[in-house]
A = this chain, B = another copy of it.
Amino acid sequence: MKYWTLTEPDIDRIALGAGILGTGGGGNPYLGMLMVRAQLREGRTVRVIRPCDLAPDAFVLALGNIGAPTVGIEKMEEGDEGVRSLHALEQYTGRKVDAVIADEIGGSNGLAPMITAAKLGLPVVDADGMGRAFPEVQMTTFFIHGQASQPAVLADALGNVMIVTQATSPEMLEKLMRAGTVAMGCTAHMTTAPMSGDFIKRFGVPHTVSHAWTLGDTVINARAAKMDPVEALIARTGGSLLMRGKVSDVGRRIAAGFVRGSLTLTGLEAFQGRQMVIEIQNEYLIATEGDRVLAMVPDLICIVDSETGRPITTEEQRYGLRVSVIAIPAPALLRSDIALRSVGPRAFGYDFDFVPHLGAPMDAQPVAAYDA
């Protein structure tokens, strides 16, 4: 079996790339980076494994945070939430966990399993259930392809833990988890039902930890070479530039455990005179110009600082920021008919079908470090 043992520079790259893939949500990646770095500085290690190296019957848990990112940056994790969740599920199921995986690679949730993995000496699988971030629990390729709705665990920083032992659907699980999250103060740690190694191999979005690293590396290399990081990102992802402009209005509120609102951007340079509106539910969902929808879920709408390529999350947005909006094709697993029922525009209440005008998605590849 090949391992990729993470270094601090790796974590910087993964955090940067996860921030880009987070499409504005998934939790603040800077905080996630600090928490994983702290694990390394305390002498622990984070080892990543490829999905192909999972035993077919491996017992795998998907970990991550749930809630409103605007709250998550003020009410931070305590650090042992994942350990408590995992132990609660081990006790409830009577099985030992073999590996952990991110429900979503986007934002701090791409890093969240690494904290628990470092503390418990477990490997992190180089894959996830979204290839990006989405606001709701059931919006993973895991649930889309039949992951059980239970048992799932919610834990907070103060020590509260609840287990959903029966949920009639993944949507009902989302409702119960969201309600518990609000009761816990609008952020919490979630662990969904156990999955087998075989299931992860079939339905996980593959090599997304590697993909995040590659995107982060692309931006860092462009900066070092005094090249445009936005152009470098577009070249690397097969994405397209939707807008270069200035944030001219931010409407944002916390509602029912989510950050909701919209963002107005006013074009600069080649985009002078144009205006774009981006709608938000934790993540950037839809980019419109007048009546025209330029990009939509599940394709990725990423907003980065125009100078540095640093991803800007929904809770960081404010008037005057100079940003570039990049659309990136969603992974193939999110574009199937069955997936679009859960993550297409209609799943978010929009009255139109998904139009994949951004070309074919690129397959993410494992990083070279596996062979080191």
Tell me the A residues contacting B by CB distance below 8 Å: 84, 88, 92, 155, 158-168, 172, 175-176, 178-180, 182-184
Contact = CB atoms under 8 A, between A and B. Distances in A.
Nearest to A164: B162
A165 B175 CA distance: 19
A167 B155 CA distance: 10
Given A180-B179, A183-B179, A158 B162 contact: no
A166 B176 contact: no
Given A84-B166, A161-B166, A162-B163, 11 more contacts: A155-B166, A158-B172, A161-B164, A162-B176, A163-B163, A163-B165, A172-B183, A176-B183, A178-B183, A179-B179, A179-B183
A84 B172 CA distance: 17
Nearest to A185: B175
A75 to B, nearest CB: 15
Counting chain B CB atoms within 10 Å of each CB, which of A159, A162, A165 scores highest?
A: A162
A295 B128 CA distance: 59
A178 B179 CA distance: 9
A164 B162 CA distance: 4
Nearest to A182: B179
Contacts of A166: 84, 88, 155, 159-162
Nearest to A158: B168
A159 B165 contact: no
A62 to B, nearest CB: 19
8 contacts: A158-B168, A159-B166, A159-B168, A160-B176, A162-B164, A162-B180, A175-B183, A179-B182
Contacts of A155: 166
Contacts of A182: 179
Interface centre among A84, A88, A155, A172 (most CB of B within 10 A): A172
B164 A165 contact: no
Contacts of A180: 162, 176, 179-180
Contacts of A179: 179-180, 182-183
B163 A167 contact: no
A134 to B, nearest CB: 19
A163 B163 CA distance: 5
A34 B165 CA distance: 30
